[in-house]
Structure 1
Amino acid sequence: MTVVALLAKPPREGLVATGLAASTPLSTAEATDLYEALFRDAVLAVDRSGGELLVNYPVDDDLPAEHRTETSPEAELRTLVADTLGGTGDVRFEQQVGSSFGARAGNTVTHLLREENADSVAVVTPQAPLLSRTIIDSAAMKLRTNGVVLGPSTRGRTYYAGFTEPIDFDGAFEAPSLPTLAARGRDAGLDVEFVEPSPSMIDGDDLFDAIPLLRARFAAQRVVPDYTAAFVHEHGLDVVVEDGEERVVRN
Protein backbone atom coordinates (compact mmCIF):
# COMPACT_ATOMS: atom_id res chain seq x y z
CA MET A 1 0.00 0.00 0.00
CA THR A 2 1.26 3.46 -0.90
CA VAL A 3 0.93 6.22 1.67
CA VAL A 4 -0.24 9.28 -0.27
CA ALA A 5 0.79 12.45 1.54
CA LEU A 6 -1.45 15.37 0.58
CA LEU A 7 0.50 18.52 1.46
CA ALA A 8 -2.09 21.26 1.88
CA LYS A 9 -2.80 24.61 3.49
CA PRO A 10 -6.15 25.60 4.97
CA PRO A 11 -8.20 27.28 2.22
CA ARG A 12 -8.02 30.85 3.48
CA GLU A 13 -8.48 33.85 1.25
CA GLY A 14 -5.14 35.35 0.22
CA LEU A 15 -3.17 32.37 1.53
CA VAL A 16 -3.90 29.88 -1.27
CA ALA A 17 -4.47 30.07 -5.03
CA THR A 18 -2.99 33.55 -5.24
CA GLY A 19 -1.69 32.83 -8.75
CA LEU A 20 -5.20 32.06 -9.94
CA ALA A 21 -6.65 35.17 -8.33
CA ALA A 22 -3.98 37.36 -9.94
CA SER A 23 -4.30 36.01 -13.48
CA THR A 24 -7.91 34.90 -14.04
CA PRO A 25 -11.39 36.43 -13.83
CA LEU A 26 -11.75 34.78 -10.41
CA SER A 27 -11.77 36.91 -7.29
CA THR A 28 -9.49 36.04 -4.37
CA ALA A 29 -12.43 34.44 -2.57
CA GLU A 30 -13.43 32.43 -5.65
CA ALA A 31 -9.86 31.24 -6.22
CA THR A 32 -9.83 30.08 -2.60
CA ASP A 33 -13.04 28.14 -3.23
CA LEU A 34 -11.40 26.50 -6.25
CA TYR A 35 -8.43 25.46 -4.08
CA GLU A 36 -10.88 23.93 -1.61
CA ALA A 37 -12.56 22.04 -4.46
CA LEU A 38 -9.19 20.71 -5.62
CA PHE A 39 -8.38 19.63 -2.05
CA ARG A 40 -11.68 17.79 -1.71
CA ASP A 41 -11.20 16.02 -5.05
CA ALA A 42 -7.67 14.94 -4.05
CA VAL A 43 -9.07 13.53 -0.80
CA LEU A 44 -11.74 11.62 -2.74
CA ALA A 45 -9.22 10.28 -5.25
CA VAL A 46 -6.97 8.83 -2.57
CA ASP A 47 -9.90 7.51 -0.52
CA ARG A 48 -11.28 5.68 -3.55
CA SER A 49 -7.88 4.17 -4.36
CA GLY A 50 -5.91 1.46 -2.63
CA GLY A 51 -3.65 4.07 -1.02
CA GLU A 52 -3.57 5.40 2.52
CA LEU A 53 -4.36 9.11 2.84
CA LEU A 54 -2.13 11.25 5.02
CA VAL A 55 -3.01 14.95 5.20
CA ASN A 56 0.15 16.92 5.88
CA TYR A 57 -0.75 20.31 7.36
CA PRO A 58 1.15 23.43 8.49
CA VAL A 59 0.94 24.76 12.03
CA ASP A 60 -0.12 28.30 12.88
CA ASP A 61 3.47 29.51 13.22
CA ASP A 62 4.14 28.45 9.62
CA LEU A 63 1.46 30.82 8.32
CA PRO A 64 1.78 34.59 7.86
CA ALA A 65 0.29 36.41 10.83
CA GLU A 66 -2.56 37.85 8.74
CA HIS A 67 -3.73 34.34 7.84
CA ARG A 68 -3.87 32.92 11.36
CA THR A 69 -7.29 32.41 12.90
CA GLU A 70 -8.76 30.91 16.04
CA THR A 71 -9.13 27.65 14.14
CA SER A 72 -5.92 25.67 13.67
CA PRO A 73 -4.94 24.51 10.16
CA GLU A 74 -5.30 20.90 11.31
CA ALA A 75 -8.81 21.44 12.63
CA GLU A 76 -9.88 23.28 9.47
CA LEU A 77 -8.57 20.55 7.17
CA ARG A 78 -10.04 17.83 9.39
CA THR A 79 -13.45 19.46 9.04
CA LEU A 80 -13.13 19.54 5.24
CA VAL A 81 -12.06 15.90 5.09
CA ALA A 82 -14.90 14.85 7.39
CA ASP A 83 -17.41 16.76 5.27
CA THR A 84 -16.01 15.22 2.07
CA LEU A 85 -15.76 11.61 3.26
CA GLY A 86 -18.34 11.51 6.02
CA GLY A 87 -15.63 11.07 8.65
CA THR A 88 -11.88 10.95 9.23
CA GLY A 89 -11.49 7.47 10.69
CA ASP A 90 -9.28 6.15 7.90
CA VAL A 91 -7.25 9.35 7.39
CA ARG A 92 -3.98 10.27 9.06
CA PHE A 93 -3.08 13.88 9.87
CA GLU A 94 0.50 14.93 10.51
CA GLN A 95 2.27 18.25 10.88
CA GLN A 96 4.53 19.50 8.09
CA VAL A 97 8.17 19.94 9.06
CA GLY A 98 10.60 21.98 6.97
CA SER A 99 11.34 25.46 5.70
CA SER A 100 10.48 24.82 2.03
CA PHE A 101 8.12 22.58 0.09
CA GLY A 102 11.00 20.27 -0.86
CA ALA A 103 12.09 20.00 2.77
CA ARG A 104 8.56 19.31 3.97
CA ALA A 105 7.95 16.70 1.29
CA GLY A 106 11.35 15.13 1.83
CA ASN A 107 10.94 14.94 5.61
CA THR A 108 7.55 13.26 5.23
CA VAL A 109 8.74 10.73 2.64
CA THR A 110 11.95 9.91 4.52
CA HIS A 111 10.20 9.51 7.88
CA LEU A 112 7.53 7.18 6.49
CA LEU A 113 9.99 5.04 4.55
CA ARG A 114 12.70 4.79 7.19
CA GLU A 115 10.89 5.10 10.51
CA GLU A 116 7.53 3.51 9.68
CA ASN A 117 8.76 1.07 7.02
CA ALA A 118 6.17 2.14 4.46
CA ASP A 119 6.50 0.25 1.18
CA SER A 120 6.14 3.44 -0.84
CA VAL A 121 5.18 7.07 -0.28
CA ALA A 122 3.74 9.59 -2.74
CA VAL A 123 3.50 13.36 -2.54
CA VAL A 124 0.57 15.28 -4.03
CA THR A 125 -0.94 18.74 -3.56
CA PRO A 126 -4.36 20.30 -4.31
CA GLN A 127 -3.42 21.27 -7.85
CA ALA A 128 -4.28 18.44 -10.27
CA PRO A 129 -8.02 18.19 -10.93
CA LEU A 130 -7.72 14.89 -12.83
CA LEU A 131 -5.76 13.07 -10.14
CA SER A 132 -7.89 9.95 -9.81
CA ARG A 133 -8.17 6.53 -8.22
CA THR A 134 -6.98 5.00 -11.49
CA ILE A 135 -3.83 7.13 -11.60
CA ILE A 136 -3.00 6.51 -7.94
CA ASP A 137 -3.46 2.75 -8.28
CA SER A 138 -1.48 2.68 -11.54
CA ALA A 139 1.37 4.53 -9.84
CA ALA A 140 1.25 2.09 -6.92
CA MET A 141 1.66 -0.81 -9.33
CA LYS A 142 4.65 0.87 -10.97
CA LEU A 143 6.20 1.51 -7.54
CA ARG A 144 6.43 -2.26 -7.03
CA THR A 145 9.21 -2.42 -9.64
CA ASN A 146 10.51 1.17 -9.74
CA GLY A 147 12.04 3.36 -7.08
CA VAL A 148 10.51 6.61 -8.33
CA VAL A 149 7.23 7.19 -10.18
CA LEU A 150 6.36 10.68 -11.44
CA GLY A 151 3.22 12.28 -12.80
CA PRO A 152 4.18 14.93 -15.39
CA SER A 153 2.21 18.16 -15.48
CA THR A 154 2.44 21.23 -17.68
CA ARG A 155 5.62 23.31 -18.01
CA GLY A 156 7.89 20.67 -16.53
CA ARG A 157 6.06 20.38 -13.24
CA THR A 158 5.03 17.27 -11.31
CA TYR A 159 1.58 16.56 -9.90
CA TYR A 160 2.50 13.16 -8.40
CA ALA A 161 5.82 11.97 -7.01
CA GLY A 162 6.14 8.48 -5.52
CA PHE A 163 9.17 6.89 -3.88
CA THR A 164 10.28 3.57 -2.40
CA GLU A 165 13.59 5.03 -1.22
CA PRO A 166 14.57 8.58 -0.20
CA ILE A 167 16.40 10.77 -2.70
CA ASP A 168 18.15 14.11 -2.35
CA PHE A 169 15.10 16.34 -1.89
CA ASP A 170 17.00 19.62 -1.52
CA GLY A 171 15.48 21.89 -4.17
CA ALA A 172 14.06 18.89 -6.01
CA PHE A 173 10.55 20.34 -6.26
CA GLU A 174 11.63 23.72 -7.58
CA ALA A 175 10.45 24.42 -11.12
CA PRO A 176 10.87 22.57 -13.37
CA SER A 177 10.57 19.70 -10.91
CA LEU A 178 9.99 16.84 -13.36
CA PRO A 179 13.53 16.55 -14.81
CA THR A 180 15.09 17.31 -11.42
CA LEU A 181 13.17 14.57 -9.61
CA ALA A 182 13.93 12.11 -12.41
CA ALA A 183 17.65 12.94 -12.26
CA ARG A 184 17.71 12.70 -8.45
CA GLY A 185 16.07 9.30 -8.67
CA ARG A 186 18.72 8.05 -11.09
CA ASP A 187 21.47 9.60 -8.95
CA ALA A 188 20.16 7.48 -6.07
CA GLY A 189 20.41 4.36 -8.24
CA LEU A 190 16.66 4.02 -8.65
CA ASP A 191 14.63 3.18 -11.73
CA VAL A 192 12.27 5.99 -12.72
CA GLU A 193 8.85 5.48 -14.31
CA PHE A 194 5.95 7.78 -15.20
CA VAL A 195 2.16 7.81 -15.08
CA GLU A 196 0.00 9.71 -17.55
CA PRO A 197 0.41 13.49 -17.80
CA SER A 198 -2.24 15.71 -16.22
CA PRO A 199 -2.79 19.48 -16.16
CA SER A 200 -2.44 21.59 -13.04
CA MET A 201 -4.53 24.50 -11.78
CA ILE A 202 -2.02 26.86 -10.20
CA ASP A 203 -2.17 30.01 -12.32
CA GLY A 204 -4.12 31.43 -15.23
CA ASP A 205 -2.05 29.78 -17.97
CA ASP A 206 -2.87 26.37 -16.49
CA LEU A 207 -6.56 26.94 -17.12
CA PHE A 208 -5.93 26.95 -20.88
CA ASP A 209 -5.18 23.23 -20.56
CA ALA A 210 -7.39 22.22 -17.64
CA ILE A 211 -10.72 23.84 -18.48
CA PRO A 212 -11.10 22.49 -22.06
CA LEU A 213 -10.17 19.02 -20.83
CA LEU A 214 -12.72 19.17 -18.02
CA ARG A 215 -15.40 20.45 -20.39
CA ALA A 216 -14.57 17.76 -22.95
CA ARG A 217 -14.83 15.00 -20.37
CA PHE A 218 -18.12 16.42 -19.15
CA ALA A 219 -19.49 16.59 -22.72
CA ALA A 220 -18.34 13.01 -23.37
CA GLN A 221 -19.99 11.88 -20.11
CA ARG A 222 -16.69 10.61 -18.74
CA VAL A 223 -15.60 10.71 -15.12
CA VAL A 224 -14.80 14.22 -13.89
CA PRO A 225 -13.60 15.45 -10.48
CA ASP A 226 -16.75 16.07 -8.45
CA TYR A 227 -15.98 19.38 -6.78
CA THR A 228 -13.72 20.99 -9.37
CA ALA A 229 -16.05 20.21 -12.26
CA ALA A 230 -18.95 21.65 -10.27
CA PHE A 231 -16.94 24.82 -9.61
CA VAL A 232 -16.08 25.25 -13.31
CA HIS A 233 -19.73 24.71 -14.28
CA GLU A 234 -21.21 26.98 -11.61
CA HIS A 235 -18.82 29.83 -12.41
CA GLY A 236 -19.17 29.41 -16.17
CA LEU A 237 -15.42 29.15 -16.74
CA ASP A 238 -14.38 28.59 -20.33
CA VAL A 239 -11.50 29.24 -22.73
CA VAL A 240 -12.11 31.28 -25.86
CA VAL A 241 -9.86 32.46 -28.69
CA GLU A 242 -10.31 36.05 -29.82
CA ASP A 243 -8.05 37.65 -32.46
CA GLY A 244 -5.76 34.64 -32.16
CA GLU A 245 -5.34 35.02 -28.39
CA GLU A 246 -6.60 32.61 -25.77
CA ARG A 247 -8.53 34.02 -22.83
CA VAL A 248 -10.20 32.53 -19.77
CA VAL A 249 -13.75 33.87 -19.51
CA ARG A 250 -16.76 33.34 -17.31
CA ASN A 251 -20.28 33.27 -18.65
Structure 2
Amino acid sequence: MTTVAVLCDPPRPGLVLSSLVETSPLTAEEVSDLYAAMLGDVVRAVESSGGELLVNYRPDESLPGSFADGEASAEAEVRAVVRGALKRPDEARFEVQVGQTFAGRAGNTATHLLDREGVTTVAVVEPSAAFLARSHVDNAAMKLRRSEVVLGPTTRGRVYYAGFAGTIDYADAYASPAIETLTDRALDVGHEVDYLPMLPVIETGEDLADALTLLRARQRAGRIVPERTTAALDETGLTVVADDEPRLER
Protein backbone atom coordinates (compact mmCIF):
# COMPACT_ATOMS: atom_id res chain seq x y z
CA MET A 1 0.00 0.00 0.00
CA THR A 2 1.42 3.38 -1.01
CA THR A 3 0.83 6.34 1.25
CA VAL A 4 -0.17 9.17 -1.08
CA ALA A 5 0.50 12.60 0.42
CA VAL A 6 -1.62 15.35 -1.11
CA LEU A 7 0.31 18.56 -0.44
CA CYS A 8 -2.15 21.43 -0.35
CA ASP A 9 -2.91 24.93 0.90
CA PRO A 10 -6.18 26.26 2.26
CA PRO A 11 -8.18 27.40 -0.81
CA ARG A 12 -7.89 31.15 -0.17
CA PRO A 13 -8.19 33.68 -3.02
CA GLY A 14 -4.79 34.95 -4.08
CA LEU A 15 -2.91 32.28 -2.16
CA VAL A 16 -3.54 29.32 -4.43
CA LEU A 17 -2.55 29.11 -8.12
CA SER A 18 -1.58 32.78 -8.45
CA SER A 19 -0.12 32.06 -11.90
CA LEU A 20 -3.54 30.91 -13.06
CA VAL A 21 -5.09 34.18 -11.88
CA GLU A 22 -2.45 36.13 -13.80
CA THR A 23 -2.72 34.15 -17.04
CA SER A 24 -6.43 33.38 -17.40
CA PRO A 25 -9.79 35.24 -17.32
CA LEU A 26 -10.56 33.71 -13.91
CA THR A 27 -10.75 35.85 -10.80
CA ALA A 28 -8.86 34.95 -7.64
CA GLU A 29 -12.15 33.80 -6.10
CA GLU A 30 -12.94 31.56 -9.06
CA VAL A 31 -9.45 30.09 -8.95
CA SER A 32 -9.77 29.31 -5.25
CA ASP A 33 -13.09 27.54 -5.96
CA LEU A 34 -11.42 25.59 -8.77
CA TYR A 35 -8.52 24.67 -6.48
CA ALA A 36 -10.94 23.34 -3.87
CA ALA A 37 -12.72 21.32 -6.55
CA MET A 38 -9.45 19.83 -7.81
CA LEU A 39 -8.38 19.01 -4.26
CA GLY A 40 -11.68 17.18 -3.82
CA ASP A 41 -11.15 15.17 -7.00
CA VAL A 42 -7.58 14.23 -6.11
CA VAL A 43 -8.34 13.04 -2.58
CA ARG A 44 -11.34 11.08 -3.86
CA ALA A 45 -9.13 9.38 -6.48
CA VAL A 46 -6.65 8.37 -3.77
CA GLU A 47 -9.41 7.16 -1.46
CA SER A 48 -10.89 4.97 -4.20
CA SER A 49 -7.48 3.43 -4.94
CA GLY A 50 -5.49 0.90 -3.01
CA GLY A 51 -3.40 3.69 -1.50
CA GLU A 52 -3.57 5.34 1.90
CA LEU A 53 -4.54 9.02 1.86
CA LEU A 54 -2.50 11.59 3.77
CA VAL A 55 -3.65 15.21 3.49
CA ASN A 56 -0.55 17.31 4.09
CA TYR A 57 -1.59 20.96 4.53
CA ARG A 58 0.22 24.20 5.24
CA PRO A 59 -0.90 25.68 8.58
CA ASP A 60 -1.68 29.38 9.05
CA GLU A 61 1.67 30.17 10.66
CA SER A 62 3.58 28.98 7.58
CA LEU A 63 1.56 31.02 5.06
CA PRO A 64 2.59 34.43 3.68
CA GLY A 65 1.50 37.16 6.06
CA SER A 66 -1.39 38.54 4.00
CA PHE A 67 -2.92 35.04 3.71
CA ALA A 68 -2.29 33.83 7.24
CA ASP A 69 -5.71 34.74 8.59
CA GLY A 70 -8.81 33.25 7.04
CA GLU A 71 -12.38 33.10 8.26
CA ALA A 72 -11.49 29.67 9.61
CA SER A 73 -8.14 28.02 10.31
CA ALA A 74 -6.19 26.55 7.42
CA GLU A 75 -6.81 23.08 8.83
CA ALA A 76 -10.55 23.66 9.10
CA GLU A 77 -10.77 24.94 5.52
CA VAL A 78 -8.86 21.97 4.14
CA ARG A 79 -10.82 19.50 6.24
CA ALA A 80 -14.12 20.94 4.99
CA VAL A 81 -13.13 20.39 1.36
CA VAL A 82 -11.83 16.89 1.98
CA ARG A 83 -14.82 15.90 4.10
CA GLY A 84 -17.18 16.90 1.31
CA ALA A 85 -15.32 14.79 -1.25
CA LEU A 86 -14.64 11.52 0.55
CA LYS A 87 -16.95 8.61 1.12
CA ARG A 88 -15.09 7.73 4.32
CA PRO A 89 -13.92 11.11 5.66
CA ASP A 90 -13.21 9.79 9.15
CA GLU A 91 -10.45 7.59 7.74
CA ALA A 92 -8.48 10.47 6.21
CA ARG A 93 -5.22 11.37 7.91
CA PHE A 94 -4.19 15.04 8.22
CA GLU A 95 -0.74 16.39 9.01
CA VAL A 96 0.93 19.78 8.69
CA GLN A 97 3.66 20.39 6.14
CA VAL A 98 7.15 21.24 7.38
CA GLY A 99 9.64 23.16 5.24
CA GLN A 100 10.24 26.48 3.51
CA THR A 101 9.97 25.33 -0.12
CA PHE A 102 7.78 22.85 -1.94
CA ALA A 103 10.74 20.52 -2.48
CA GLY A 104 11.61 20.80 1.19
CA ARG A 105 8.07 20.06 2.29
CA ALA A 106 7.75 17.13 -0.11
CA GLY A 107 11.12 15.77 0.98
CA ASN A 108 10.33 16.10 4.67
CA THR A 109 7.06 14.23 4.19
CA ALA A 110 8.59 11.43 2.13
CA THR A 111 11.62 11.03 4.40
CA HIS A 112 9.54 11.01 7.58
CA LEU A 113 7.19 8.34 6.24
CA LEU A 114 9.91 6.12 4.78
CA ASP A 115 12.54 6.41 7.50
CA ARG A 116 10.58 7.07 10.69
CA GLU A 117 7.20 5.46 10.15
CA GLY A 118 8.43 2.47 8.18
CA VAL A 119 6.09 3.09 5.24
CA THR A 120 7.16 0.96 2.28
CA THR A 121 6.29 3.44 -0.49
CA VAL A 122 5.17 7.06 -0.50
CA ALA A 123 3.97 9.42 -3.21
CA VAL A 124 3.58 13.18 -3.45
CA VAL A 125 0.83 14.84 -5.50
CA GLU A 126 -0.85 18.25 -5.62
CA PRO A 127 -4.45 19.38 -6.23
CA SER A 128 -3.46 20.66 -9.69
CA ALA A 129 -3.30 16.99 -10.78
CA ALA A 130 -7.07 16.95 -11.20
CA PHE A 131 -6.96 14.19 -13.84
CA LEU A 132 -5.32 11.76 -11.42
CA ALA A 133 -7.51 8.66 -11.22
CA ARG A 134 -7.59 5.50 -9.18
CA SER A 135 -5.97 3.58 -12.04
CA HIS A 136 -2.96 5.92 -12.04
CA VAL A 137 -2.44 5.54 -8.28
CA ASP A 138 -2.69 1.76 -8.47
CA ASN A 139 -0.48 1.55 -11.57
CA ALA A 140 2.18 3.60 -9.77
CA ALA A 141 1.98 1.32 -6.73
CA MET A 142 2.68 -1.68 -8.94
CA LYS A 143 5.65 0.07 -10.55
CA LEU A 144 7.05 0.99 -7.13
CA ARG A 145 7.43 -2.71 -6.39
CA ARG A 146 10.11 -2.86 -9.09
CA SER A 147 11.54 0.68 -9.13
CA GLU A 148 12.49 2.91 -6.21
CA VAL A 149 11.22 6.05 -7.93
CA VAL A 150 8.16 6.44 -10.15
CA LEU A 151 7.35 9.78 -11.78
CA GLY A 152 4.26 11.06 -13.55
CA PRO A 153 5.28 13.59 -16.22
CA THR A 154 3.20 16.50 -17.43
CA THR A 155 3.88 19.38 -19.82
CA ARG A 156 6.91 21.69 -19.69
CA GLY A 157 9.02 19.24 -17.72
CA ARG A 158 6.82 19.22 -14.63
CA VAL A 159 5.52 16.21 -12.71
CA TYR A 160 2.06 15.46 -11.35
CA TYR A 161 3.17 12.43 -9.31
CA ALA A 162 6.39 11.49 -7.56
CA GLY A 163 6.56 8.12 -5.85
CA PHE A 164 9.40 6.80 -3.72
CA ALA A 165 10.40 3.44 -2.29
CA GLY A 166 13.72 4.99 -1.24
CA THR A 167 14.85 8.48 -0.39
CA ILE A 168 16.82 10.90 -2.58
CA ASP A 169 18.44 14.28 -2.04
CA TYR A 170 15.29 16.42 -2.03
CA ALA A 171 17.00 19.83 -1.88
CA ASP A 172 15.78 21.68 -5.00
CA ALA A 173 14.64 18.32 -6.39
CA TYR A 174 11.71 19.97 -8.17
CA ALA A 175 13.91 22.50 -9.98
CA SER A 176 12.78 22.90 -13.59
CA PRO A 177 12.62 20.64 -15.50
CA ALA A 178 11.45 18.62 -12.51
CA ILE A 179 11.14 15.37 -14.45
CA GLU A 180 14.87 15.48 -15.24
CA THR A 181 15.95 16.78 -11.85
CA LEU A 182 14.05 14.10 -9.94
CA THR A 183 15.30 11.42 -12.32
CA ASP A 184 18.91 12.55 -11.87
CA ARG A 185 18.55 12.62 -8.07
CA ALA A 186 17.23 9.06 -8.14
CA LEU A 187 20.01 7.84 -10.42
CA ASP A 188 22.62 9.58 -8.24
CA VAL A 189 21.82 7.19 -5.39
CA GLY A 190 21.45 4.11 -7.59
CA HIS A 191 17.67 3.94 -7.76
CA GLU A 192 15.72 2.51 -10.67
CA VAL A 193 13.26 4.99 -12.21
CA ASP A 194 9.98 4.32 -14.00
CA TYR A 195 7.28 6.58 -15.40
CA LEU A 196 3.51 6.90 -15.60
CA PRO A 197 1.58 8.12 -18.65
CA MET A 198 1.52 11.87 -19.15
CA LEU A 199 -1.44 13.76 -17.67
CA PRO A 200 -2.37 17.45 -17.76
CA VAL A 201 -2.19 19.66 -14.70
CA ILE A 202 -3.95 22.97 -14.15
CA GLU A 203 -1.57 25.66 -12.91
CA THR A 204 -1.59 28.33 -15.66
CA GLY A 205 -3.92 29.68 -18.31
CA GLU A 206 -2.21 27.56 -20.94
CA ASP A 207 -2.72 24.48 -18.78
CA LEU A 208 -6.37 25.38 -18.31
CA ALA A 209 -6.99 25.71 -22.05
CA ASP A 210 -5.46 22.27 -22.63
CA ALA A 211 -7.41 20.72 -19.76
CA LEU A 212 -10.69 22.32 -20.76
CA THR A 213 -10.53 20.95 -24.31
CA LEU A 214 -9.79 17.48 -22.94
CA LEU A 215 -12.66 17.72 -20.46
CA ARG A 216 -15.13 18.80 -23.13
CA ALA A 217 -14.00 16.03 -25.48
CA ARG A 218 -14.26 13.38 -22.78
CA GLN A 219 -17.71 14.64 -21.77
CA ARG A 220 -19.00 14.37 -25.35
CA ALA A 221 -17.53 10.88 -25.65
CA GLY A 222 -19.14 9.77 -22.40
CA ARG A 223 -15.81 9.15 -20.70
CA ILE A 224 -14.86 9.71 -17.09
CA VAL A 225 -13.93 13.27 -16.10
CA PRO A 226 -12.91 14.72 -12.71
CA GLU A 227 -16.39 15.46 -11.40
CA ARG A 228 -15.82 18.44 -9.14
CA THR A 229 -13.29 20.12 -11.39
CA THR A 230 -15.64 19.82 -14.35
CA ALA A 231 -18.53 21.29 -12.39
CA ALA A 232 -16.39 24.22 -11.19
CA LEU A 233 -15.24 24.99 -14.73
CA ASP A 234 -18.79 24.73 -16.06
CA GLU A 235 -19.77 27.51 -13.65
CA THR A 236 -17.11 29.86 -15.02
CA GLY A 237 -18.56 29.85 -18.54
CA LEU A 238 -15.10 29.55 -20.05
CA THR A 239 -14.63 28.30 -23.59
CA VAL A 240 -11.53 27.66 -25.66
CA VAL A 241 -11.27 29.58 -28.94
CA ALA A 242 -8.93 27.95 -31.43
CA ASP A 243 -7.02 30.50 -33.49
CA ASP A 244 -3.29 30.18 -34.10
CA GLU A 245 -3.02 29.47 -30.38
CA PRO A 246 -5.94 28.25 -28.24
CA ARG A 247 -7.17 30.97 -25.91
CA LEU A 248 -9.70 31.18 -23.12
CA GLU A 249 -12.84 33.31 -23.40
CA ARG A 250 -16.09 33.67 -21.54
TM interval, short-chain normalised: over 0.9
Task: Tell me whether 1:45 sits opposite 2:45 in the alignment.
Answer: yes
Preserved CA contact (<8 Å) 2:123 2:163: yes
Take 2:175 and 2:237, find their aligned partners in 1: how far apart are those partners?
32
Task: Tell me whether 1:213 sits opposite 2:211 in the alignment.
Answer: no
Take 1:70 and 1:231, find their aligned partners in 2: how far apart are those partners?
22
Structure 1: which amino acid aligns with 2:144? Answer: L
Secondary structure of the residue that 2:89 maps to in structure 1?
coil
Preserved CA contact (<8 Å) 1:2 1:122: yes
Q: For residue 129 of structure 1, what is the aligned residue in structure 2?
A: 130
Deviates more, 1:62-71 or 1:189-198: 62-71
Secondary structure of the residue that 2:90 maps to in structure 1?
coil
Q: For residue 165 of structure 2, what is the aligned residue in structure 1?
A: 164
Structure 2: which amino acid aligns with 1:54? Answer: L
CA drift at 1:87: 5.0
Q: For residue 55 of structure 1, what is the aligned residue in structure 2?
A: 55
CA drift at 1:237: 2.2
Task: Tell me whether 1:238 sits opposite 2:239 in the alignment.
Answer: yes
Secondary structure of the residue that 1:3 maps to in structure 2?
strand
Structure 1: which amino acid aligns with 2:25? Answer: P
Preserved CA contact (<8 Å) 2:130 2:229: yes
Task: Tell me whether 1:27 sits opposite 2:27 in the alignment.
Answer: yes
Take 1:128 and 1:108, find their aligned partners in 2: how far apart are those partners?
18
CA drift at 1:86: 4.8
Number of aligned residue pairs: give it: 249
User: C-alpha deviations, 1:148-190, integer Å up to 9, x for none?
Assistant: 0000011000000000001010001122111100111111111
Take 2:174 and 2:107, find their aligned partners in 1: how far apart are those partners?
10
Preserved CA contact (<8 Å) 1:81 1:87: no
Preserved CA contact (<8 Å) 2:40 2:84: no
Deviates more, 1:55-64 or 1:86-95: 86-95
Take 2:28 and 2:155, find their aligned partners in 1: how far apart are those partners?
23
Take 1:48 and 1:58, find their aligned partners in 2: how far apart are those partners?
24
The TM-score with structure 1 as length reference comes to 0.96
Secondary structure of the residue that 1:247 maps to in structure 2?
strand
Preserved CA contact (<8 Å) 1:155 1:176: yes
CA drift at 1:17: 1.7
Q: CA-atom RMSD, angstroms?
A: 1.2
Take 2:125 and 2:192, find their aligned partners in 1: how far apart are those partners?
20
Residue correspondence of structure 1 range 138-157 to structure 2 within 5 A: 138-157=139-158
Preserved CA contact (<8 Å) 2:38 2:127: yes
Take 1:143 and 1:87, find their aligned partners in 2: how far apart are those partners?
26
Preserved CA contact (<8 Å) 2:6 2:126: yes
CA drift at 1:239: 1.6
CA drift at 1:65: 2.2
- Structure 2, unmatched stretches of 5+, are none
Structure 1: which amino acid aligns with 2:189? Answer: A
Secondary structure of the residue that 1:209 maps to in structure 2?
helix
- Structure 1, unmatched stretches of 5+, are none
Runs of 4+ more than 6 Å apart: none
Secondary structure of the residue that 2:91 maps to in structure 1?
coil
